[in-house]
Structure 1
Amino acid sequence: MEQDNKLPKDFLKQFTSKEDFQSFFSELYKQGVEQMLQAELDSHLGYEKHAKDGNNTGNSRNGTYPKKVKTQSLGDMVLNIPRDRNSEFEPQLIPKGQRMSDKLEESIIGMYSRGMTTSDIVEQVKQVYGVDVSEGTISNVTNRIIEHIKEWQQRPLEAVYYTVWMDGIVLKVKQNGKYINKCIYLVIGLKNDGLKEVLGMWMAETESASFWMSVLTDLKARGVEDILIACTDNLKGFTDAIKGVFPDTVTQLCVVHQIRNSCKYVVWKDRKPFCADLKDVYGAVNRDAAEAALEKLSEKWGHKYRHAIEAWRNNWDCLTSYFDFPLEIRKIIYTTNTIENLNRGIRKYTKTKVQFPDDQAALKAVYMAITNIEKKWSMPIQNWGFILQQFLTIFDNRCRL
C-alpha cells in the first residue's frame, strides 16, 4: 500500500499565517543544523556529550558562540556554533570566518570585476543562487578588495625596470555632495624577463608633474633603484619630475600625443597633407634626418601653423630620444600606447559605472579591471631575447639580470 506523505491537517492548523509557517521551519532548520554541528564536534572530540567514558582526550566542549549566516531559502539566521577548549574544532558545515559560501563571495567579486553594478549583482545572485542579498552586503563583500589593494600597493618592486609607461585615467567621483573629475595615476613597468606589470595606482584631483614626482618617490621607496627609459605624455614639468627622482633615466615623450596636440592648431582641410609632411619628421631614419624634415615642415606650414611646429621644437630633445636606440626598442618606447591600451581596458570594465560614490569605489573598480587585464600579460613582449641583448649593450651593468 502506498505511503501517504502528506502532513496531518491537525499539524497544519497550528499555523495561522504564512509567517508562522516560515518561522516554524526556520527554527526547525536552525535546530537541525546545530545538531549536525554538535555531531561534528562529537566526531572531533571522539566521544558524545555526557558519555561516561568521554573527556579522556585532553580536550572538551566549551559552550557555543552565535554566528549570523545566510541560507538559500530562509535568509539570515543566527546559529549557535559549538567550540572546544583547545580551539582546535573547525566546523566543515559552516567553516570559521565565513558568513556566506566562498563560492558565492568569489562569484560576487568576479561579477564586480567585470563591470556589473551592485544592483545587477543582487539580481544575478538571486537568479543563480536563490539568495536575497542587499546592495550593502555586496559592498561589504567587495570591500575585501580594499585589503588586497593595500597589500598590492605596498608590495616590493623590482630593483630595475627597463621601461616604464606613465599616464592617468580620469573618472567621475563624488566628493562633498557633487561629482568631480579625479585622476588615477598608473605606471606599467617592463621587467628583465620581458613581462609587464602594473606597479601601482594613485588618486588625485588633477594630473600634475608635482604629483607624478610623489608617485616616483613611492616607487623608489618600494625598492626601485633605476628606470632605464620612461615614456610619458607631454605634461609640463614631467621630465623634470622624473629627473628629480631618477636622474639617469632617459625620458621619451609620446610622439602620438604630440601629433594630436599639433593637429589641434590645424584646420580640417589641411590636416591630411600636414600630417603626411609631419610623418617625415617622426618617421625619419635618424635625428639629423628628422631635424631636416622639421625645417622643411616649417618652411611649408610655419607661416600658417607656427604653434603646431613650435610645440615640436620646444620638446625636441625628449621627443627624439628614441632615435638613440635600435628600431626594436624604438617601437616600444616612442609612444605610450602600452598604457593607453590599459586605460581602454579599464574603461571597458567600468563602462557601466559612469560615476562612483567615493574614492574607494573607484579604486576597487580600477584594481579589479587591472587584475583581469594582467592575466593576459602572460608572455614576454615580442622578440624579447633580441631586445634584451640591445638593452644589455646600451645600458651595460645598469640592467642587472
Structure 2
Amino acid sequence: MAELVSPEGIDRILADAKASGTPLDGPDGILNQMSKAVIERALGAEMHEHLGYAKHDAAGRGTGNSRNGYSAKTVTTNTGKVQIEVPRDRTGGFEPRIVKKHQRRLGQIDDMILSLYAKGMTTRDIKDHLLEVYGAEASHELISNVTDVVHDEIKTWQNRPLDQVYVIAYIDALVVKIRTNGVVINRPAYIVTGVDVDGFKHVLGVWIGPTEGESKAHWLAVLTEVKNRGVEDVLIVCCDGLTGLPDAIRTVWPKAEVQTCVIHLIRNSMKYVSYSDRKKVAAALKPIYTAVNAEAAEIALEHLRKEWGTKYPGMLAAWDRAWEDFTPFLKYPKEIRKVVYTTNAIESLNFQLRKIMKNRGHFTTEDAAMKLLYLGIRHVTGRYIDGDGHVRAKGERGTGTYGWKAALNHFAVLFGDRLVL
C-alpha cells in the first residue's frame, strides 16, 4: 500500500510538535489538530465541488451562489473531540458528506458503542469509557439511541429466508433475567443453530420463552416459524428434554431424528464433579459416547458407576435419566458422531452470551434483552444485516466443521435424497 504521507513529512510534523511542546494525543494534541486540518480541507473540497469554482476564483462571479463564512461545530472522532469550521454557502444548499448536518460523531464511534454494548458493558460503563479515553460526553439517551438502531435489523435478521435443508440443528437455552409485571424473573432464551450442507454453522434465530414455561404449542409456533422461512427438512435435531419440544419437532419435520445433545449431557453431568476430578471423569465418560454400539456403551456406563457412582451419584443419575434418548446416537458411524458432538463454535457462542447476560444483570423489557442477545451474536459470529437486508460476514464466511466431508458422505448414504446439495 502506498504511503499517503512521506516519512520526511511525518518527521517534520513531529519535530514541530516537539519544538512547540504540543502533546501527541489529547484535546490539544497533534493528532486532533491533524484531524481538524484534514476534515476542514475535505469540507473545503466539497464546497469547491458544490459551487463549481475555487475560493477567490473570478469564475464564481454572477453564478448566484458563493461562500458565506463558516459555522463552528464540535465533533467526536476516534482521537477525541475536535472543533471544526464548516463552510456555508449563501443559498443554504450545501450538504457536506464527510460531516453531515446535525452529525456529531465521526469515524467508528457508533460502532464502538455497539461493540462495547455487545460485550456486556452497561450504559454507565460505556459513558465512562468514552469520557476517559476520548474526552467525549455521551448521555444515556445517546447510547440508547445508537443501540436502538438495531431493532429494525433484529426484525430483518429474525425473519430472513433460511436454507431448505439443515443437516443438524441444535436447540440450546440460557437464562435471562427480565422485569415482568414489576418482578424480575428468569426467562429462557432459546437459540437455534443450524449446520448447513457445507458444514457451516448459522444462528437461525432467538426466541425468549414465555413466563408460564414451555409447551408443545409454544414450540410448535417457534418451529413452524422456522419452517415458514424456508426450512423444509432437518436431518438431526439435538436438544435437551424441553417440555413439548420432541413432539413439536416431529410435527413440523416428521422425518427428523430427535437426539439428546451429547455435549449438553456431558456438560450437565459434569456439574456434579469437583474440579480436581474433572479430567479423570471426562476420560471415563469418553468410552460411553464413543462406544461401537449401545451394548458397549452400557458396559462403559457400568464401569463409570463402579468407579465414580458412590462419590458422584448425581452425575450417574443424569446419564440414567437421558439414557433412552442418548442411545440412538450410537447407531451413527463415527464420522457423523464426531460432527454431532464436536460443537466447539456453538459452545463458545453460548458461553460468551451467558457471560454477557451475567454482566448486565437484569433487563427492564424483553426487547432490551433481545437487543443485547442479537448484538452479542453479531459480535461473536461477525455476521450482520446490511442495508439491503442481506446477511454479511466480516472476514470469513462462517465457522466450518472439522471432518465435515467425511461425515457428509455418510449423511448422503443414510439420508439419501433428503440431503439437498
Q: TM-score, normalised by structure 1?
A: 0.70
Secondary structure of the corresponding residue to residue 331 of structure 1:
helix
Secondary structure of the corresponding residue to residue 164 of structure 1:
strand
Aligned position for 2:214: 208
Aligned partner of 1:156 among 153, 156, 161: 161
Say yes or no: does 1:106 pair with 2:111. yes
Aligned position for 2:365: 358
Aligned position for 1:193: 198
Say yes or no: does 1:121 pair with 2:126. yes
Secondary structure of the corresponding residue to residue 181 of structure 1:
strand
Matches within 5 A, 1:46-195: 46=52, 53-54=62-63, 90-95=95-100, 98-195=103-200
| Alignment CA distance shift 1:395-1:117 (3 Å) | same
Secondary structure of the corresponding residue to residue 360 of structure 2:
coil
For residues 298 and 131 of structure 1, the distance between their equivalents in structure 2, rounded to whole angstroms, comes to 61
| Alignment CA distance shift 1:364-1:80 (3 Å) | farther
Any stretches of 5+ residues in structure 2 without a counterpart? Answer: 1-38, 383-395
Secondary structure of the corresponding residue to residue 352 of structure 1:
helix
What is the letter of the counterpart of residue 137 of structure 1? L
In the alignment, is the contact (CA less than 8 A) between 2:339 and 2:403 conserved in 1? no
Aligned position for 1:226: 233
| Alignment CA distance shift 1:275-1:370 (3 Å) | closer
Deviations, residues 50-83 of structure 1 (Å, cap 9, x unaligned): x65315xxxx79x9xx9x97566699x9x99779
Aligned position for 1:235: 242
Aligned partner of 1:44 among 34, 40, 50: 50
In the alignment, is the contact (CA less than 8 A) between 2:43 and 2:87 conserved in 1? no
Aligned position for 1:393: 413
| Alignment CA distance shift 1:83-1:149 (3 Å) | farther
In the alignment, is the contact (CA less than 8 A) between 1:258 and 1:312 conserved in 2? no
Aligned partner of 2:400 among 369, 376, 380: 380
Q: CA deviation at 1:363?
A: 1.6
What is the letter of the counterpart of residue 357 of structure 1? T
Deviates more, 1:350-359 or 1:278-287: 278-287
Matches within 5 A, 1:17-28: none
Deviates more, 1:388-397 or 1:135-144: 388-397
| Alignment CA distance shift 1:93-1:54 (3 Å) | same
| Alignment CA distance shift 1:263-1:163 (3 Å) | closer
For residues 323 and 121 of structure 2, the distance between their equivalents in structure 1, rounded to whole angstroms, comes to 42
In the alignment, is the contact (CA less than 8 A) between 2:269 and 2:318 conserved in 1? no
For residues 40 and 273 of structure 1, the distance between their equivalents in structure 2, rounded to whole angstroms, comes to 68
Aligned position for 2:350: 343
| Alignment CA distance shift 1:81-1:165 (3 Å) | farther
| Alignment CA distance shift 1:314-1:134 (3 Å) | closer
Deviates more, 1:243-252 or 1:348-357: 348-357
Q: CA deviation at 1:37?
A: 7.1
Deviates more, 1:344-353 or 1:230-239: 344-353
For residues 250 and 343 of structure 1, the distance between their equivalents in structure 2, rounded to whole angstroms, comes to 23
Q: CA deviation at 1:162?
A: 0.7
What is the letter of the counterpart of residue 393 of structure 1? V
Q: CA deviation at 1:371?
A: 1.7
Deviations, residues 139-167 of structure 1 (Å, cap 9, x unaligned): 11111122221221111111111101101
In the alignment, is the contact (CA less than 8 A) between 2:179 and 2:362 conserved in 1? yes
Secondary structure of the corresponding residue to residue 285 of structure 1:
coil
Q: CA deviation at 1:389?
A: 1.3
| Alignment CA distance shift 1:236-1:204 (3 Å) | closer
For residues 138 and 174 of structure 1, the distance between their equivalents in structure 2, rounded to whole angstroms, comes to 21
What is the letter of the counterpart of residue 360 of structure 1? D
In our comparison, the structure showing a higher alpha carbon Rg is 1
Q: CA deviation at 1:97?
A: 7.5
Secondary structure of the corresponding residue to residue 320 of structure 1:
helix
* Identity between Structure 1 and Structure 2 (%): 40
| Alignment CA distance shift 1:342-1:213 (3 Å) | farther
Aligned position for 2:18: none
| Alignment CA distance shift 1:236-1:107 (3 Å) | closer
| Alignment CA distance shift 1:381-1:83 (3 Å) | farther
Secondary structure of the corresponding residue to residue 284 of structure 1:
coil
Secondary structure of the corresponding residue to residue 323 of structure 1:
helix
In the alignment, is the contact (CA less than 8 A) between 1:298 and 1:309 conserved in 2? no
Q: CA deviation at 1:138?
A: 0.7
What is the letter of the counterpart of residue 113 of structure 1? A
For residues 104 and 257 of structure 1, the distance between their equivalents in structure 2, rounded to whole angstroms, comes to 39
Any stretches of 5+ residues in structure 1 without a counterpart? Answer: 1-32
For these two proteins, the number of residue pairs brought into alignment is: 349
Matches within 5 A, 1:203-352: 203-206=208-211, 208-210=214-216, 211-255=218-262, 257-258=264-265, 282-290=289-297, 312=320, 316=324, 318-334=325-341, 339-352=346-359
Deviations, residues 213-271 of structure 1 (Å, cap 9, x unaligned): 222111111111111111001223321111011111111112455567779999xxxx9
